[in-house]
Structure 1
């Protein structure tokens, strides 16, 4: 009887050993990746029918994280806006304080008031023209331009500077209270944000965007179903009143006027400044309310982000102990395979002759 025996050559054994080593190396790399990241290396293959659930959860997480980034930037912008409004009120207060006699009974002089008003005017214009990350705070959607034209700089759109516009409207100095009130009325008309024409607040002083037909400025979606109307624009009456009052005092040395004219002029200027200060305070209050709404939304989103990450971890994650154990086992197997493959590669028929 003839028996056929299938032989297994040392060459074939060596080749199979190398294949086994390659396969174990691949598995070891995957196990190392899982142990390092905490997630399955081939997530969707491992999840099977649950892959759709994981993809949907990740999509919701990505949207939430996008909102979180946008909202954090918006919160910092609103914080700076509120701070700038506070700085403007402080600048106005330095001028308003000059109208009140000190405890020693000394009142301001016309020259002192005029100098203080001009300094405050330049300071306030700089504060209104502040920007955050290159975006103007008070220009509305036209956020790449300065909100307010510098006082002595000609506006190309109108061919006038704010100072020239004011001085043209005032003309000759008022000689009595009636003239002072008439000239103050003329300035109030051109500083009205709704006035049209070149020699107006909107035509020469304010460079930002107009509000829409509903009177709204900027808005942004801060969550899937939530839109926030935010910010303050320098076409708000608070800004025009503030700048009108400072311009009146910066343009006229009241010590050169008749007492009745000086009293009327100063009274109208300070009325405008008080209106501006009150309006700025209201704007600060609105900014605070907007930040509160935004912070509530951000807190809710942070909680949802945590929940979605936990869901993803439960679906895509691997047990750290299991991953470490598997890594050790594969390392041991690979070391054994290396040893066997090395021994097989050294076998030769000549060793046994």
Structure 2
């Protein structure tokens, strides 16, 4: 009777091959169990990969649109927050300005100047807020803060209007400073006149964020606050009609600015609504596409888990057998 045996080298080779095969199978089954999809997609669709390729491309596009929608939502929410802060400052100081002519001044000249200066600096700081590492009110120059520092702007204005002989002169100088061709545009606004391109957030849906810090609403807001700040710096003093005329002009400007800020916030709110709708559409489309993909190349998780456990047991058995064989020797046998 003949006996077939394996030499040590052949035996080692067989064990290594089995170990490699089981290892690959475990890796494949683990990946499939994690993703819920078959690894061999070509076999799963009998070689017809056109449909699954189309689904994968659509999923990639939806993922890109979803990312764009999240970015647009961050941008819109950030600008909305900026305008809320600006409008808060306007509404805080507006009542004192509007009451100045009726009550002969609702706040002392020094207190009025201090409040207006604090409001001016707060508005500039809000406008210079970076959203996600970008400055949203600088046009397309998103790496540059929209405005110079508030103290620097106020210093230039003080030089311009200090000692103005009458209310009309002070008002005219400040209005000219913040005019479309004034010093504010050439010295203080650091962005550009570009407009961010419309951003596609879902198939057939785009949003556009056009507001910049050189917008007339922002300029009017800063001009009104500047008038309130420097009303007590003219040569006409703080007791007569000239002083009150500057404050009343500033109050009227704040009233217009508040209404215009509300309009801007409504536009941004509408964009936020469109973005929310886009995110919902993207999520629904992604769910539908994932289901279609799973119908084509999805796995049975229970079957795959059973196969994975079976493979693990085979690998454990192989390791145990390898350990026993490694301990076999003629010396141990003769003992």
Query: Which is further off, 228-237 or 281-290?
Result: 228-237
Residue 44 and residue 107 in structure 1: after superposition, are their counterparts in 2 closer, same or farther (change >3 A)? same
CA RMSD, Structure 1 to Structure 2 (Å): 3.5
TM-aligned CA distance change 1:226 to 1:166, over 3 Å: farther
Per residue, is there more helix in 1 or in 2?
2
Question: Does the Cα contact within 8 Å between 1:115 and 1:250 map onto a contact in 2?
Answer: yes
Does the residue aligned with 1:11 lie in a helix, a strand or coil?
Answer: coil
Calculate the TM-score normalised by the size of structure 2: 0.81
* C-alpha contact (below 8 Å) 1:137/1:143 kept by paired residues: yes
Aligned to 1:157: none
Relative distance call for 1:282 and 1:218 in structure 2 (3 A) is: farther
SS in 1 for 2:199: strand
Q: Is the 8 A contact 1:238 1:278 kept in 2?
A: no
Distance apart, 1:238 and its partner CA: 0.8
Which residue number in structure 2 is paired with residue 158 of structure 1?
A: none
1:243 to 192, 200, 222: 222
Q: What residue is the counterpart of 1:188 in the other structure?
A: 175
**1:9 correspondence with 2:9:** no
The superposition leaves residues 86-128 of structure 1 with CA deviations (integer Å, 9 ceiling, x where unpaired) of 1111112222122337xx9983222221111111111111111
Question: Is there any run of 5+ residues in structure 1 with no aligned partner, and where?
Answer: 154-160
Distance in 1, Cα, partners of 2:321 & 2:108: 102
Q: For 1:239-318, what aligned pairs fall within 5 Å after superposition? A: 239-253=218-232, 256-257=237-238, 259-318=240-299
- How much has 1:335 moved relative to structure 2? 7.4
Distance 1:32 1:289, change over 3 A: closer
Alignment equivalent of 1:40, drawn from 38, 43, 47 = 38
Q: Please say if 1:205 is aligned against 2:192.
A: no
1:72 Cα deviation from its structure 2 partner: 1.3
Question: How far apart are 1:259 and its partner, in Å?
Answer: 2.1
Mark the runs of 5 or more structure 2 residues left unpaired by the alignment: none
Equivalent positions of 1:1-353 (< 5 A) are 9-11=4-6, 18=15, 23=21, 26-99=24-97, 100=99, 107-153=106-152, 161=153, 163-165=155-157, 167-168=159-160, 170=161, 172-175=163-166, 180-193=167-180, 195=181, 199-211=182-194, 217-230=196-209, 232-253=211-232, 256-257=237-238, 259-328=240-309, 330=311
Residue-by-residue CA offset, 1:175-219 (whole Å, 9 max, x unaligned)? 4xxxx22442343233123x2xxx5221122212214xxxx5553
Distance of 2:31 and 2:218 partners within structure 1: 59
- Counterpart CA distance in 1 for 2:238 and 2:85 is 32
Paired residues of 2:105 and 2:244 also in contact (CA < 8 A): no
SS of residue in 1 equivalent to 2:208? strand
Superposed structure 1 runs of 4+ greater than 6 Å apart: 332-346
Question: How many equivalent pairs are there?
Answer: 322
